Amino acid sequence: MDLLALPAFLLIAALYSAVGHGGATGYLALMSFFNVPPHVMACTALTLNCLTAGISCFVYSRAGYLSPRLTLPFIVTSIPCAFLGAMVKLDERQYAVLLGSTLIVTAILLLLKRQKPIKSENKTISSSAESSSPPEKFVCSPPLPQAGLSGALLGFLSGAVGIGGGVFLSPLIILARWADTKSTSATAAVFIIANSASGLVGRALSGALEFGNVVPFLAAALIGAIAGSYWGAHRSTAGVLRIPLAIVLFIAALKMFLPK
């Protein structure tokens, strides 16, 4: 893959890590423009995911936003399902259709995502980045059946496509009013690490672990993730870049559906 893409990888890592995500959908979209083989795309994205989300997890955890009671119900089922998803053998066309569909849904979620106030008892907790004071933390335990099923479905998709699933889990937690935005980001980071690592193990055992020259891109993602996660955990995260990012995902998805 062209080393000229390094700044783009750095930017993707910074944008996604700011909200606790690994950036796999962004990495996959970018790699699709360079016609990277599917197995290399998935393995590279999962590896970058572990790095980017790992840094986000560390920063958000140090800032006090990681909640085990919110996180554990999702990852208990997602880890084995990500392993199983990674062992599914997809041909190039099947992978393109599944990845393209995932990118389209992700782009739609980015365009529709709005941070709404969370009500807790007699107070309204604002998660708006423009609030004059920092939002209060709010975390509750999600219903186990819903959390378990969501974790299993997202885990399987994560392993099959080569994503961490956080981009789908975060809107679910926010819309269900299970946590504030930053606690959600911390949970998403752990979810992504667990699924990505499980997916890599599954691909290794199925003989589908294949990398290109990933080291330079790991370095770019490292720099971007450190900057982005610090900004997201300690300062307001701007949502203005959601639209151009969604456009890139739409274009990449269209490319996946077009015949080669």
- pLDDT for 144 beyond 90: yes
The pLDDT assigned to 248 comes to 67
Within 13 Å and on the Cβ side, how many CA atoms surround 230?
6
Q: What is the three-class DSSP state of 179?
A: strand
Mean pLDDT of 214-234: 84
* Structure-token pair, residue 120: 């807790």
Q: Is the pLDDT of residue 131 over 50?
A: no
- The closest of 61, 51, 49 to 22, measured between CA atoms, is 49
- Does residue 115 carry a pLDDT above 60? no
Asked if pLDDT for residue 139 goes beyond 70, the answer is: yes
3-state secondary structure 92-158: HHHHHHHHHHHHHHHHHHHHHCCCCCEEECCEEECCCCCCCCCCCCCECCCCHHHHHHHHHHHHHHH
pLDDT of 154 reads 93
Give CA–CA dist 260/252, Å, rounded.
13
Checking if the pLDDT of 132 tops 50, the result is no
Which of 45-49, 118-122, 128-132 shows the highest mean pLDDT?
A: 45-49
Q: What is the pLDDT at residue 242? A: 64
pLDDT greater at residue 163 or residue 233: 163
Stretch 212-235: mean pLDDT, rounded? 82
Q: What is the pLDDT of residue 241?
A: 55
List the beta bridge partners of residue 125.
Answer: 118
What pLDDT score was predicted for residue 147?
Answer: 95
Q: Which amino acid is at 127?
A: S
Give pLDDT, residue 73.
Answer: 95
Whether the CB-CB separation of 78 and 158 falls below 8 Å is answered with yes
Provide the residue ranges of all domains of the chain, joining segments of one domain with +. Answer: 3-255
Q: What residues contact residue 74 under an 8 Å CB cut-off, 6+ apart?
A: 142, 147, 148, 150, 151, 154, 169, 187, 191
Cβ 24 vs Cβ 60: under 8 Å: no
Report the alpha-carbon distance of residue 169 to residue 25 in Å, rounded: 14
pLDDT at site 63: 87
Identify the residue whose tokens are 């750095």.
Answer: 10
Q: Decide if pLDDT at 60 tops 50.
A: yes
pLDDT for position 244: 63
Q: Tell me whether residue 163 is exposed, middle or buried, using C-beta atoms within 10 angstroms of its C-beta: 0 to 12, 13 to 18, 19 or more.
A: buried
pLDDT, position 143: 94
pTM of the entire predicted model: 0.79
pLDDT score of 151? 95
Q: Exposed, middle or buried, 115 (CB in 10 Å: 0-12/13-18/19+)?
A: middle
Q: Read off the pLDDT of each residue in 161-181 and give the average, rounded to a whole number.
A: 87
